[in-house]
């Protein structure tokens, strides 16, 4: 994974977000100004629920979880995201705080953009606004389907969904070297670590997946999708 150079500007950035492609050079300069670039280590907090959301945080490379913190350490992971995601968009034009905490699952490089500059650009460039709304809506729809999954499916359906999500959306491959611990997976599926372990065992026995150390391969996607649908 090539670590982006500091000298890269928004204008010549090759890992540009889809929305930002709508901006012309002068508009790119507007967000370039005051832009910050930071690299987080595995496990580090990128933004903290309740803190002032002065910036929107663009994930340039890496892999993060966004979660809501409740009392007594009761957290719920809203989503896992990788490069291209914009953290904090949900604070635009509303209460100016982060509504969730973001933590890096692995080394993650981000760009910070001033929230006010961003909202000014929204006024200048309607197609930028349209792209941002499209993106917000995409995220919302995904959170709806997660709500459905976690309330209506039981353990195997929940794990099936998470494995398919990791394969399709995050790693984009049927075989992937999982950066997540069992504890992370348990958090994602909202299961205890022990229960998760049992479902994984079941999936292995049923030849749905092949587990080799940290590597997981989806060996029977069709059936896994069926379990996800009906479980």
Partner DNA sequence: AATGAAACATGTTTTATATCAATTTTCAGC
Partner DNA sequence: GCTGAAAATTGATATAAAACATGTTTCATT
Separation in Å, CA 66 to CA 28, 30, 87, 213, 220: 27, 28, 9, 26, 29
Q: Report the candidate in 66, 148, 52, 136 with the shortest Cα–Cα distance to residue 104.
A: 66
Q: Contact, 102 vs 66, CB < 8 A?
A: yes
Which H helix or E strand runs over 204?
A: helix 193-205
Residue 79 Cα to chain centre, angstroms = 5
Separation in Å, CA 172 to CA 72, 98, 167: 35, 29, 5
Interface pick for its own copies out of 137, 168, 173, 215 (rule CB under 8 A): 137
Using CB under 8 A as the binding rule, whether residue 78 contacts its own copies is answered as yes
Span from 84-92, 160-168, 178-186, 210-218 in contact with its own copies (CB under 8 A): 84-92
Q: Which residues contact 106 (CB under 8 A, 6 or more apart)?
A: 42, 62, 63, 179
* Window 1 to 60, contacts with its own copies (CB under 8 A): none
Convert residues 51-70 into a mask of x (bound to its own copies by CB under 8 A) and - (unbound): -----------------x-x
Using CB under 8 A as the binding rule, whether residue 154 contacts its own copies is answered as no
Interface pick for DNA out of 160, 190, 208, 218 (rule CB under 7 A): 190
* Window 133 to 172, contacts with DNA (CB under 7 A): 154-156
**Shortest gap between Cβ of 146 and its own copies (angstroms)?**
7
Size of the residue set binding DNA (CB under 7 A):
20
Which H helix or E strand runs over 95?
A: none
Chain residues in the site for DNA (CB under 7 A):
154-156, 181-183, 190-198, 200-201, 211, 213-214
Chain residues in the site for its own copies (CB under 8 A):
68, 70-72, 74-76, 78, 89-94, 99-100, 119, 122-124, 126-127, 129-134, 136-141, 143-148, 150-152, 190, 229-230
């Amino acid at each position: 994974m090539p670590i982006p150079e500091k000298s890269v500007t928004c204008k010549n950035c090759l890992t540009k977000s889809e929305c930002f492609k709508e901006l012309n050079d002068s508009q790119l300069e507007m967000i370039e100004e005051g832009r910050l670039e930071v690299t987080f280590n595995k496990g580090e907090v990128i933004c903290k629920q309740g803190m002032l959301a002065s910036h929107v945080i663009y994930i340039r490379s890496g892999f993060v979880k966004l979660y809501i913190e409740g009392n007594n350490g009761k957290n719920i992971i809203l989503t896992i995201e990788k490069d291209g995601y914009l953290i904090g968009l949900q604070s635009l034009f509303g209460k100016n705080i982060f509504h969730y905490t973001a933590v890096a699952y692995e080394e993650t490089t981000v760009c910070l953009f001033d929230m006010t500059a961003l909202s000014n650009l929204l006024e200048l460039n309607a197609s930028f606004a349209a792209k941002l709304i499209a993106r917000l809506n995409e995220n919302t729809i995904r959170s709806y389907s997660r709500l459905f999954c976690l309330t209506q499916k039981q353990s195997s359906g929940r794990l099936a969904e998470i494995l398919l999500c990791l394969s399709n959306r995050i790693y984009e491959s049927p075989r992937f070297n999982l950066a997540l611990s069992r504890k992370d997976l348990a958090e994602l599926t909202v299961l205890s670590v022990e229960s998760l372990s049992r479902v994984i065992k079941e999936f292995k026995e049923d030849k749905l997946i092949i587990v080799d150390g940290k590597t997981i391969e989806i060996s029977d996607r069709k059936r896994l999708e069926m379990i996800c649908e009906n479980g």
